[in-house]
Each structure stands twice: as structure tokens, then as C-alpha cells.
Amino acid sequence: MIISFLKSREAILLGALIALILLVESRFSGFAMPRNLAAVFNDTSILIILALGQTLVILTRCIDLSLASNLALTGMVTAMLNAAMPGLPIVALLAVAVALGLIMGAFNGLLVWKLNIPPIVVTLGTLTIYRGIIFLVSGGSWVNSHEMSAAYKALPRAQMLGLPVLSWIAIVVIAGFAIGVNRTALGRAFYAVGGNPGAAVYTGIDVGRTRFSAFVIAGGLAGLCGYLWVSRYAVAYTDVAGGFELDIVAACVIGGISIAGGSGTVLGAVLGALFLGVIKNALPVAGISPFWQMAISGAAIIIAVAFNARKPPSRIILKHAEARS
């Protein structure tokens, strides 16, 4: 069990992540302190949650480019609701955020399922549509910190057992995914549909419905993140999280989620997001220019894909075994 983990791409990625942290620590003492690492984790929480949703979609051989727009729209709606009705409980706002996210995810999923439109086309379209709706509902104006209620802004920062609630939410989502993906029939179906859609059909799995489910879950999580993002940064405007959809895909790719579908793990997606999170947090403190940051993130993606494209080592071992027998 331990040996097979050491050979996995997750182990390689974990090693790379630790090496990266140590490298930063050698330049900038104190980075590897638990308190700072916890801060980095907290800062990466939203990326982790979104990357997990995207993982499901990519596992089924699809992609969702509209997640950041979905996040920005739900964030704007919750902020405007809060500004208009400060008395509305946060639980109700959370429910609205998740529900809106689910609806947007379902819209993507339906177009992919029922109309058979390639997912990249569907979500490229909804990426702009959802972003455009923000402008329609807000008229282009911002919702600023002073318009938001204290309770609205407090939730993600509130401390619980030494960690902010934002971190705890990410931990709960990770745990939910670890169980849901590995231990339920639907989780298995994501892998089957992406691994071999033709075979999945013959196994009695509804390929379209499974893809729809992936889009809905990813959309719901993006809705949740909409509230978390806007309340954390205490500002909502049309361009919130602009371009973040590519960070989400990058986290998945670095985490070894195969863009061809059917292969990847929850742990991989989390590590991929953390890898990006460390780069984004460490390089500025080390005084490296943002342009180098982009180049380094880009290089990490290509290196990760090159690693994943290698043939698995077990094949060689098997050949030896076959040769012997």
C-alpha cells in the first residue's frame, strides 16, 4: 500500500510541493512555519473547492470554463441581497448562493446532455453569459464593504478550533469528495464515463446524466465559493475572479487529473491547487515579479502534464513478470 503510494503521481506531486516549500523557506525564513502554511491553505481554500468541482467535470471528459463567472454572479447576487436586506440570515444567503450555482451548473449540464453540444463550447458561451448577467443585475456598479453587513463579512474569517471557517469549509468539502468519489456508485460512474463512454453505456450507466451531475455539483460549489469570495474580499463587482477559470483548470492539470477523462484523484486535485497556492503566496514575498509567477505556474502545468503522459511504471514490471512466466 505504502509502496504503491510512493510510486503514484500524487506522491511525486507531494514531493514537489514539499521541495517548493523548502526552497521558499531557504530564501525566506518562516515560510514553512505551521501558522504561515495554515494561512496559505486558507488562502487556497476557494481554489481547492473549485478545483474539486472541476475534477468531476474533467473526469467525465468534459470541462467547465464558466465556474469563475458563476462564482462572480452568485457573489454579486448575495452581496446585493445583503445590501438591500441586511436582516436576511446568512444561512438564507448561503442557500441562495448554492441554489443559484446549481442552476447555472444544471444549465451547462443540460446543454451538454440534451443538445450534445461540446462542453468547451457550452461553457465558453455561459462564461460570457453569466458574466454579462452580473452587469445586468448590478448595472455595472460595485457593492463595497461598507454596504455589507458585519455578519455577511464575518463568516469566512470566524475562527473555529484554530482555523478560519473558510479553511474548515474546504476541509469538509475535501472529506466529502474523498468519500463521495471513492465510495459511491456515482463517484465510480464519473471514472467509467470518462474512461470509456462506450463501455459505460453497456454497463448500464447513463453517460449524459452522469455528466449532468458533474456540472451540477461543480456549479453548486462555484455558487458556494461566490459567497465566500465576495465576503472574504468584501467587495463585489463585474470582474470578480476574472480569469480564475484558468487557474482552476491549471490546478486540476497539475494535480494529475487527465484532461482526456477517467483518471485523477481527489488528493491530486487538492495538491495541484496547493501547489499553485504556494507559488502565488511565496513568490511575491520572495520579491519575484508577477510575470515570473505566471511563467513559473505555466511551466508547472507543462511539467505536470509531461509527467502524467509517461507510461505507468507497472507496465514494465508486468512485462518482466510475463517474460518470466
Partner 1 sequence: MTDNNTTPQPVLRLNGITKTFPGVRALSEVDLALYPGEVTALIGENGAGKSTLVKILTGIHQPDAGQIIVDETPTTLADASAATRAGITAIHQETVLFDDLSVAENIYLGHAPRGRFGLLDWARMEEDAREILKRIGAAINPRLPLRDLGIASKHLVAIARALSVQARVVVMDEPTAALSQAEIEELYTLIDRLKAEGKAILFISHKFDEVFRIAERYTVFRDGQMVDAGMISDVTEDQLVEKMVGRAMSAIFPVRHATPGETVLEVRDYSHPTEFADISFDLRRGEILGFYGLVGAGRSEIMQSLFGVTKPSHGEARLNGRALSIRTPADAIAEGIVYVPEDRGKQGAITAMPIFQNVTLPSLSRTSNKGFIRMAQEFDLARHYTERLDLRASALDQTVGNLSGGNQQKVVIAKWLATRPEVIILDEPTKGIDVGSKAAVHDFMAELAAEGLCVIMVSSEIPEILGMSDRVIVMREGRIVSQHPRDGLSPEILVREAAGYGATAQKESAA
* Residue ranges binding partner 1 (CB under 8 A): 4, 179, 182-185, 188, 191-192, 195-196, 198-206, 258, 262-263, 312, 314-315, 318, 321-322
Of 67 and 200, CB closest to partner 1: 200
Contact 89, 63 (CB under 8 A): no
Whole-angstrom Cα distance, residue 79 to residue 135? 14
Q: Which is nearer to partner 1, 137 or 321 (CB)?
A: 321
Report residue 109 as a C-alpha cell: 449540464
Continuous segment of H or E residues that includes residue 317: helix 314-324
Q: Considering the complex, what minimum distance in angstroms separates the CB of residue 122 from partner 1? A: 23
Residue 308's alpha-carbon distances to 54, 140, 304, in angstroms, are 18, 43, 6
Q: Classify 236 as helix, strand or coil.
A: strand
User: In terms of CB distance, is 90 or 201 closer to partner 1?
Assistant: 201
* Beta bridge partner(s), residue 164: 159
- Nearest distance in Å: CB 321, partner 1: 6
Question: Which residues are within 8 A (CB) of 272 and not within 5 positions of it... i.e. 6 or more apart?
Answer: 13, 51, 250, 251, 252, 253, 254, 255, 256, 257, 304
- The residues pairing with 160 across neighbouring beta strands, listed in sequence order, are 163
For partner 1, give the closer residue by CB, 1 or 150.
1
DSSP letter (8 states) at residue 289: -
Cβ-based nearer residue to partner 1, 310 or 315: 315
Cβ burial of 228 (10 Å; 0-12, 13-18, 19+) is buried
For residue 255, the minimal CB distance to partner 1 (Å) is: 16
Shortest spacing between CB 202 and partner 1, in angstroms: 5
The nearest distance, CB 194 to partner 1, in angstroms, is 8
Number of C-beta neighbours around residue 174 at 10 A: 18
Q: Which is nearer to partner 1, 226 or 264 (CB)?
A: 264
Q: What's the burial of 41, exposed, middle or buried (CB within 10 Å: 0-12/13-18/19+)? A: buried
Q: Cβ closer to partner 1: 263 or 293?
A: 263
Q: How far is the CB of 115 from partner 1 (least distance, A)?
A: 20
**How far apart are CB 6 and partner 1 at their closest, in Å?**
15
